[in-house]
Amino acid sequence: MKSKILEDLKKLDKNQLLQLRNDLDQLIKEKQEGNLEEKRNNKRVSLNIAATCEVEREKQFFELQHKIRILDLSSKGLRFKSDDPLLEDDLLSVFFRSPSNGIEKKIDCKIIRVTEVDEGETKKYQIAARGVNKEEVRRYKEWLSKRGK
């Protein structure tokens, strides 16, 4: 097939070849952009919801809830903003009310990325977390209880 295409291309003049090259460049660019968009299998839903979270490692010593703002959700996790610096690999329980029906929701998740963001005179933290199952939460709690022994 490639040799047949090359044979046909040899029959074109210089201007036709230049136009074909521009068309091919555009086609390649569109294919590359399409691949980037297809990379995310789980589409994010942009939100702006007030929520709270509890850090599993802090539960032993404090009954502290951090106020957060959920920026987006997907079926695999969420991204939120916090005034408090949280640590990568921390397990969290995030609590919020569903905007559609007001029912309280809980998501267990693990922090995978923390980014510091300047907002005027204060610093905030954008945090990405992936959802985890109950078994992973159980193992983490077990590990926490054994680490001091």
- At residue 10, the pLDDT reads 86
In this prediction, residue 91 carries a pLDDT of 92
- Claim to verify: residue 83 and residue 135 sit in the same structural domain: yes
- Looking up residue 101, the CATH number of its domain turns out to be 2.40.10.220
Q: Are residues 78 and 126 in the same domain?
A: yes
Provide the domain limits for residue 34.
2-39
Residue entry with tokens 């929520």: 51
Mark whether 52 and 22 lie in a shared domain.
no
Together in a domain, 33 and 7: yes
Total number of domains constituting the chain: 2
Kind and range of the H or E run holding 72:
strand 66-73
pLDDT at 51 over 50: yes
Q: Greater confidence, 100 or 129? A: 129
pLDDT band at 18 (very low <50, low <70, confident <90, very high): confident
Same domain, 123 and 108: yes
Q: What is the pLDDT of residues 94-117, one digit of tens each?
A: 999 988 888 999 999 999 999 998
Non-local (6+) Cβ contacts of 89 within 8 A are: 110, 111
Query: Based on the domain organization, do 73 and 55 belong to the same domain?
Result: yes
Task: Tokens 């693990």: give the residue.
Answer: 110
**The token pair that represents 83 in the structure block:** 């005034």
**CB-side neighbour CA atoms (13 Å) of 142:** 6
67 and 86 in a single domain? The answer is yes
Same domain, 69 and 113: yes
| pLDDT exceeds cutoff 50 at 37 | no
